[in-house]
């Protein structure tokens, strides 16, 4: 799965979605028959799915232009999510930092996993005790460019 279908954000009653794949804009198409104007689902589509519950994995790849793209996923609005996994499979250190800052989750999380993060710093929301009141476990796997914790 390379990306989510367009219109997934219209399924506002959706409660279970185990994987959401988001592809940055600058990835080149490997299939010459792919149309350049082919639309794919965006992080903003995830933003309207506030009934999601339990576990969600967000897999992000490619280059991104702003933190607001990640904020559009509206993870704070998903109060029924208890487990969040964020998997970075590409992008630069700066892209990863910007996205992770924007992926500010809800305070009801019990488990947070960050995999493949290439950033140097942790996001500011991790320093906020508000986000750890219910957190039971945190996993940071394959953290490539960290300078300090």
Tell me the per-residue pLDDT of 46-86, one tens digit each, with 9 for 90 and over: 999 999 999 999 999 888 888 898 999 999 999 999 999 99
Claim: this prediction has a pTM higher than 0.95: no
Q: Is residue 147 part of a domain?
A: no
**What pLDDT sits at residue 63?**
82
What's the mean pLDDT in 140-146? 79
The backbone region for 46, taken as left when phi is positive above 0, alpha when psi lies in -120 to 50, beta otherwise, is alpha
CA–CA dist 102, 96 (Å, integer): 10
Q: Is residue 130 part of a domain?
A: yes
**What pLDDT sits at residue 35?**
42
Q: Is residue 68 part of a domain?
A: yes
Residues making up the chain, counted from first to last: 149
More confident residue, 91 or 28: 91
Q: Is residue 106 part of a domain?
A: yes
What's the mean pLDDT in 120-135? 83
What's the mean pLDDT in 3-19? 92
What's the mean pLDDT in 132-142? 89
Structural domain span for residue 115? 8-24+37-141
Backbone angles phi, psi at 102, to 5 degrees: -75, -20
User: Of the given ranges (19-28, 58-67, 106-115), which has the lowest mean pLDDT?
Assistant: 19-28
Q: Is residue 80 part of a domain?
A: yes
The count of structural domains within the chain is 1
**Secondary structure element (H or E) that encloses residue 41, with its range:** none
- E-assigned strands of the chain? 19-23, 54-61, 81-88, 111-115, 137-141
């Amino acid at each position: 799965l390379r990306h989510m279908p367009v219109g997934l954000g219209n399924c506002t009653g959706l409660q279970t979605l185990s994987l959401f794949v988001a592809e940055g804009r600058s990835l080149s198409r490997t299939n010459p028959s792919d149309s350049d104007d082919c639309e794919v689902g965006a992080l903003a589509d995830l933003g309207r799915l506030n009934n999601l519950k339990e576990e969600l994995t967000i897999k992000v790849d490619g280059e991104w232009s702003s933190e607001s793209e990640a904020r559009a996923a509206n993870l704070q609005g998903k109060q029924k999510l208890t487990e969040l996994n964020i998997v970075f499979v590409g992008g630069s250190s700066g892209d990863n930092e910007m996205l992770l800052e924007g992926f500010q989750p809800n305070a009801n999380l019990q488990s947070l996993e960050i995999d493949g993060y290439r950033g140097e710093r942790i996001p500011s929301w991790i320093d906020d005790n508000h986000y750890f009141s219910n957190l039971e476990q945190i996993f940071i796997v394959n953290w490539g460019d960290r300078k300090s914790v």
